[in-house]
Amino acid sequence: MDFSEAYPFSGPHPQFSPDGEYVAVVVEYRVLVREVDTLRVVQLYSCLDKIQSYHWSPDSKYILCALKGRPIVQIWSLDEPDWTCKIDEGPAGITSARWCPDARSILLTADFQIKATIWSLVDRKCVYMKGPKFSDKAIDFDKDGKKLVIAERHDCKDYLTVFKCDGWQPCAHFRVATDDLSDARWSPCGETIAAWDSMLYYKILLYSIKGEKLGMYSAYKDALGIKSVNWSPSGRYLSIGSYDQVCTLLDKTSWDPILYCEHSPDSVELNDVILYREVDDPKADEENDESSQPASMYRVCQSPEDLPAAKIPPLDKPDPKLGVGMQCWSPSEKYLATRNDNLSWVVWIWSVEQSQLVSVLIQRQSVKLIRWAPDNDTLAVCCGNSKVYLWSPEGSSVVHIPFSKFQIMKLVWNEQGSSLVLADNATFCIGYLLDAR
């Protein structure tokens, strides 16, 4: 892997444009747009105040900047630098701002979820919607951008409203059989909505576009329940991570479990599992800078004793570090990578085809992020240090960043899978995969 120079940023982390050609960087009240290959600055936009969040439009032609302190949203054009748009929400305030799939409309959520507003950049019209239950979740567009689902709560009961994005008229409104809905998300095929309860309950429900109940799954009662939920890329599977250290896979044909991914070392069969443990690299140059971290490599282990024992944190404290809180699917849908929060330095990789665990990465530090490449089954892992850990079915490797005191806290693939943005809290660089250049 080759690396660019390190560049400063402040505020939100750098973001690739959806087409993968540019990377946007925020420095206080300015947005710099750089080419990915050369990192040459091609555009610079100055906002009216400090930028709290920003987003590329789906077609990579515009950048939305939310200035929540004002509260104002400013939009900039990549093709027409002199064009700009400003939306002032006034006393209602702005909690969140995002693009609609048409790349010409913006969805804003007001403070305290008083309302949600759709602003059109084409005809300057706006559409108001009833106050959503949340500002940053349970507001989801389907993959084709034709439908929007929003969660609401009235009289201590949860509801979902489905809108057609062509005209923003509601086409369905129905009550959800949850005690306290936590989130709702479309399946990738756009035919099913998954809605699940808060962490106090283990209950997930599946609904059709019209609100017909298609299925329901509850593994147990009277204990902390669901912690993470993810659809597989095709929508064939739904993975549910829970506080009992299990990730359960449901099949959409029946919504019954087809695989239980248990993360307790005592319950894992390691006969056909490859364990990769991070160890010191004996071939590394001993004359390291004092500020740099020691070089490391993976060692293949076979003994079950190499798998660390899980620790159960105190359950009488809020948000205990327990259960499967991190999971993501490979683009081929063959693999599922997970992290059990009370074994935060271990990454588990499961084969859906073989219905078993196939590999385990044992790190020296807690895993911060796991991300699959968008076009192949390569998994990138960061642990808050100056290394990127890569896994594929062919093997694993440790890649060292050539910068001292660089601690990777954010990792993002571009859409082509040819490069990654690697960022700590104040600087970033781009890593280029050698076989993709």
**More reliable by pLDDT, 430 or 305:** 430
User: Does residue 210 surpass a pLDDT of 90?
Assistant: yes
- Own/partner long-range contacts of 383-391 (Cβ < 8 Å, ≥24 apart): 383/345, 383/408, 384/408, 384/409, 385/293, 386/292, 386/293, 387/293, 387/296, 388/1, 388/420, 388/422, 388/431, 389/278, 389/361, 389/363, 391/276, 391/347, 391/349, 391/359, 391/361
Question: Which range is most confident: 80-94, 155-169, 293-307, 310-324?
Answer: 155-169
pLDDT, tens digit, 9 for 90 and up, residues 228-241? 999 999 999 999 99
| Mean pLDDT lowest among 49-53, 155-159, 304-308 | 304-308
pLDDT, tens digit, 9 for 90 and up, residues 155-186? 999 999 999 999 999 999 999 999 999 999 99
| Mean pLDDT lowest among 141-150, 309-318, 334-343 | 309-318
* Residue 337: predicted pLDDT: 98
Domains by residue range for the chain, with CATH = 132-218 (2.40.10.480)
The CA angle 205-211-213, to the nearest 5 degrees, is 40
Partners of 179 in beta bridges: none
Partners of 293 in beta bridges: none
Q: What is the mean pLDDT of residues 251-277?
A: 88
**Torsion over CA: 48, 54, 55, 56 (sign):** positive
Taking all residues of the chain, what is their mean pLDDT, rounded to a whole number?
92
